Chain A
Amino acid sequence: MSAADTSKIALEVKELHAFYGKSHILQGVNLKVNEGEIVALLGRNGAGRSTTVKAIMGMVDNTGEVIWRGKNILGMKAYEIAHLGLGYVPESRDIFPKLTVHQNLMLGEKGGKKPNRWSFEDMYKMFPRLRERQHTEAGVLSGGEQQMLTLCRTLMGDPDLIMIDEPTEGLAPAIVQLVAEYLMELKRRGISVVLVEQKLAIALQISDRVYVMGDRRIVFEGTPAELKADANIRKEWLEV
């Protein structure tokens, strides 16, 4: 598959509110992702970025609209949303620690009839470390290896859009660069990416567009260049 038509909207989120029990977290989030585009979701701790991707994935109580390729998917179950082609890579490298690397990857597969554009071989080529450790329990892998594993596990489900929550947190620069290359490879294959990030550098380097969240809503939307030019926004919502 080649690069997608990036003028077409893949995902559109309108007035999204989300709740954990009685606490009202998201206060009306609006955003758009085009086909084959990398969109970064930036913001400080507690801004509501993780909650946004979880709400899109149907993992928290929510209201509003989440439109995926023309269809409102809000209210559907997480596993149904996954089968429609949305992938989610949780933060904190949530691998299955007692299962082997290979078994973790198997659990990424959804077992549908649709041919999968990715094979185990593709994953092991992309991250040779994982091939070496394929029969090892995932719980004993290093942080960087666990991150590669969660990225590949979701990819084995063959998503058309993938939402990735803080993939570079606490990783050495060399591994951050590997993650960046992985994201570029997805883009080449026509997959849309929503990247939740803390590190401004990598986000600005690879994204097509950027949203900044503050106080549980969107406070900035633009290109990386526009964000670089806007010192006020950076100062108020990003720098610590």
Chain B
Amino acid sequence: MSVLNGVSYGLLLFMLSAGLTLIFSMMGVLNFAHASFYMLGAYFAYQVSEWTNYWVAFVVAPILVAVMGGLFERYVLRKTHKSGHVAELLVTFGLSFVILELVQLIWGRSAVDYKVPAALDGSLFKLFNSSFPEYRAFMMLVAVGMLVSLFLMLKKTRIGLVIQAALTHPETTEALGHNVPRVFAMVFAGGCALAGLAGVIGGNAFITEPGMAQAVGAIIFVVVVVGGMGSLAGALIASVLIGLMQTFAVGLDWSFLGGLSALGIDVTPDTFGYPVWKLKLSQIGPILPYLLLVVMLVVRPKGIMGTRDD
């Protein structure tokens, strides 16, 4: 059961990190505001489903987010590009605050009541007394569908070929007659649409509140670095890994204490470092991804599938 929950959370992370890593290959810097587009997706979906219903929101919210992302790329980022990477980084950083303030201004500081639609609110099946929610299955379905179409689009279509070429060799690609600035705007908007869609399906599965961008933002940076900056396959592996890790950690009550006594070592409150040994895995769960990040940077700095040597 935890496996399925972990995988569905991991796939959601992948929808976010896929866009982030593509945009990274293109700009050369990480987009700090990426998780903010995830949050916008959730809030837009909440608002639109209040006005109409969930299915309209499912379609409309990602489109709205994509349009906002496209406009931001066209009118802000592209102008900043000449001033170098630091400026680009700062402007995305600034955008994340603007979005946060706007969200709080419009929808308030506490969580909004964005619920899973009634049609998907049941449990799909039961196993060992725990049930697997229908909505989790729906999330997985959407994520896998997105993953497959992203793959087909990149590998099988002409525009996918141009994107692949433009990501690594923008100047040569443009000199061959391809409108690379437009390709970049499309990649940016597409990445935002994915983040928005992740917000639509994640916002009601978890919680829709102003802190959600920051919470997930840190995790997807870890995913992208661990997976290897710019590698989609690496991002997929890292997403699922971290999804599983977090879900398992929360469900487990093991502690070092238990582990050590199983090895025959007696640990008492007087033993050196007792507060550390008695920590339960579920307590350190939230920091596991960052531990993984540190270990990864030490062992293999370019990430799981990274090719960059620098």
Contact = CB atoms under 8 A, between A and B. Distances in A.
Interface of A: 57, 59, 77-79, 82-83, 88, 90, 94, 96-99, 103, 106-108, 110-111, 153-154, 157
Given A79-B180, A96-B164, A106-B158, 20 more contacts: A59-B171, A77-B174, A77-B179, A78-B174, A79-B176, A79-B179, A82-B174, A82-B176, A82-B177, A83-B177, A90-B171, A90-B175, A96-B165, A96-B172, A98-B164, A99-B164, A99-B165, A107-B161, A108-B176, A153-B176
A79 B178 contact: yes
Given A83-B177, A154-B176, A94 B169 contact: yes
Interface string B161-188: 1101100110111111111110000000
Contacts of B161: 99, 103, 106-107
Contact of A96 (B169, B171, B174, B175): B169
Contacts of B178: 79, 107, 110
30 contacts: A57-B175, A59-B171, A77-B179, A78-B174, A78-B175, A79-B174, A79-B175, A79-B176, A79-B177, A79-B178, A82-B175, A82-B177, A83-B177, A88-B175, A90-B171, A90-B172, A90-B175, A94-B169, A94-B172, A96-B169, A96-B172, A97-B168, A98-B164, A99-B164, A103-B161, A107-B162, A110-B176, A110-B177, A153-B176, A157-B177
A88 to B, nearest CB: 5
Interface of B (DSSP majority class):
helix
Q: Please list the 8 inter-chain residue pairs (A to B) with the smallest Cβ-Cβ separation, ordered nearest first.
A: A82-B177, A110-B177, A78-B174, A88-B175, A94-B172, A79-B174, A96-B165, A78-B175
Contacts of A153: 176
Nearest to A103: B161
Contacts of B164: 96, 98-99
- In which size bucket is the chain B interface? 10 to 19
Contacts of B171: 59, 78, 90
Nearest to A163: B175
Nearest to A153: B176
B133 to A, nearest CB: 40
Contacts of B179: 77, 79
Interface string B216-255: 0000000000000000000000000000000000000000
A152 to B, nearest CB: 12
Contacts of B174: 59, 77-79, 82
Nearest to B179: A79
B168 A98 contact: yes
Nearest to A96: B165
Contacts of A96: 164-165, 168-169, 172
B272 to A, nearest CB: 53
Contacts of A111: 158
Nearest to A150: B172
B176 A107 contact: yes
A107 B162 CA distance: 7
A20 B158 CA distance: 33
B234 to A, nearest CB: 15
A78 B174 CA distance: 6
Nearest to B180: A79
B168 A59 contact: no
Interface centre among A88, A108, A153 (most CB of B within 10 A): A88
B168 to A, nearest CB: 7
A155 to B, nearest CB: 11
A44 B181 CA distance: 34
